[in-house]
């Protein structure tokens, strides 16, 4: 991950979330709920980087997309 991108972790009853922040904006990566067989979801928090929620089957692919958007 790029050095200019900061990560912060959140955890609650609904699951885990990592927030990635750079000068371009902020994106939330929601971890999948394995009880529902969902995927990793990207959600825009600040700065119109993601037009609508995006879903990915693996963490690696989701983080590659985040790095492209925030770099």
pLDDT (tens digit, 9 = 90+) per residue, 14-41? 789 999 999 999 999 999 876 667 899 9
Q: Where are the domains of the chain?
A: 6-70
CA distance 34 to 53: 19
pTM, 2 dp:
0.85
The pLDDT value recorded for residue 36 is: 63
Order the strands of the 6-12 sheet from edge to edge: 6-12, 15-22, 25-30, 40-46, 54-56
Provide the mean pLDDT of the chain: 89
Q: Which residues contact 42 (CB under 8 A, 6 or more apart)?
A: 27, 28, 29, 50, 53, 54, 55, 56, 62, 65, 66
């Amino acid at each position: 991950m790029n050095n200019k991108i900061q990560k912060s972790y959140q955890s609650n009853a609904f699951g885990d979330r990592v927030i990635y922040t750079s000068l371009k904006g902020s994106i939330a990566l929601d971890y999948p709920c394995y009880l529902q067989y969902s995927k990793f979801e990207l959600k825009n928090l600040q700065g119109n980087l993601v037009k609508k929620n995006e879903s990915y089957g693996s963490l690696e692919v989701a983080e590659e997309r985040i790095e492209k958007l925030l770099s």
